[in-house]
Amino acid sequence: MLFNCYFVTIILKLTIFYIFILIKSAYELDTKKSELLAHLFISRNLTLKFELLQKNGTEANLFSISERDSNKYFRISTSTIKKTILLEFISNIDVGRVKRLEILSQSLEDYSNFHLFHIIFNGPWLTIAEDCKQLIKIQEDLNDHLMYEMQIDSLITTIGENYAEGKKIKNNENNNSPNIVLREFTADIAIPLEMQCPKLQIRSERDERTSEISEIYQKMLEINLKFSQIEQQIYQIEMHQRGCPILDNSGKTTIIASGSLVQNYTECSECHCDYEGNLYCKSIGCPFLNCAYPLPPLPGQCCPQCGKRCLFNGRFLRKWRTLFAKDLHLLSL
């Protein structure tokens, strides 16, 4: 059978050095090559390699497999707007069924140099790499349903075409310049990326996850700190809003603010309300009096006081002090 070629290397290296990705200049493989390539795609034994330079702010198709009536089954596109590579698997039988895989690409941020992309279907594995740096290697079944739909003898393989004319950003200096320049395209059987890239850089998922966990942990610490600050603010507000119930001089219950001290001179007591809403009451403390005969408290007062002094014979005498004759004799000495 024509397609019994699993171990036959099929290299479709283009002889055109530059291919401008425009609708009028999209490169279409001949029927035989399209059939061979589609067979490798269906059997998941395919390596696609692109070396390209793409303009800033554009989206373009790199590769597509479609029927003669232009219904697409598979498409690879790149975007320097979102900096992504997009793989789309489209079912024409189950209308609206489209499986997409979108991968971020740092190379698409560089608009001045060519970059090499590998897309490898190898059994259940799909590998995508840029400049021999592995972006992703996963087990997937994105194109399983297509093997039942695709009729190999009626397929067209297209390399390059406009992706979205409305999104294309024209160059003010040269409006006819292409969105993308493709220097090389190669289709081959599935060759492990390690064999194609001697200096392969594999992105460590463990390191990435560790880094992500560290970032998440740091963000959690920041969030916890903010919550603690908010809780402290709420606590301060609650403290100011709290108070203690107390009976005033008229016998009515009033609320005194937290942290305040209220004195009742009728009952000679003072009450303190703490920040937890607890009320502590005690007798009013009276200062020490340095006088021999303190005066008793007057109405409305709770503490005794020293009386006024009288000047007698050059000496100050306390008020209410009783003098006898002998005292006068002593005072005169």
For residue 117, list its beta bridge partners: 50, 130
Q: What pLDDT was estimated at residue 207?
A: 53
What is the set of domains in the chain, with CATH numbers?
19-207 (2.60.120.200), 243-332 (no CATH)
Q: What is the pLDDT of residue 116?
A: 92
**What pLDDT, on the 0 to 100 scale, is given for residue 238?**
66
Tokens of 250: 């008229």
pLDDT value, residue 302: 85
Sign for the CA dihedral angle at 165, 169, 175, 180 comes to: negative
Contact 295, 310 (CB under 8 A): no
Please state, in angstroms and rounded to a whole number, the distance separating the CA atoms of residues 279 and 237.
19
- Please report, as a single letter, which amino acid is at residue 13: K
Pairing of strands 98-104, 84-90: antiparallel
Quote the pTM value.
0.51
SS3 state at 152: helix
Give the separation between CA 51 and CA 183, rounded to whole angstroms. Answer: 5
Residue 62 token pair? 């790199």
Residue 23's pLDDT is what?
34
SS3 164: coil
> What pLDDT score does 295 carry?
80
Q: What angle do CA 84, 82, 156 make, to 5 degrees?
A: 50
Closest CA to 239 of 256, 254, 258, 255: 258
Contact 157, 61 (CB under 8 A): no
- Which element (helix H / strand E) includes 36? helix 31-42
Q: What is the pLDDT of residue 167?
A: 40
Cβ–Cβ under 8 Å, residues 264 and 254: no
Give me the average pLDDT of each 10-residue run along the chain (333 residues). Answer: 38 38 58 84 89 87 79 85 89 70 88 91 90 87 62 75 44 56 86 85 57 76 85 71 77 81 84 83 84 77 77 60 53 41
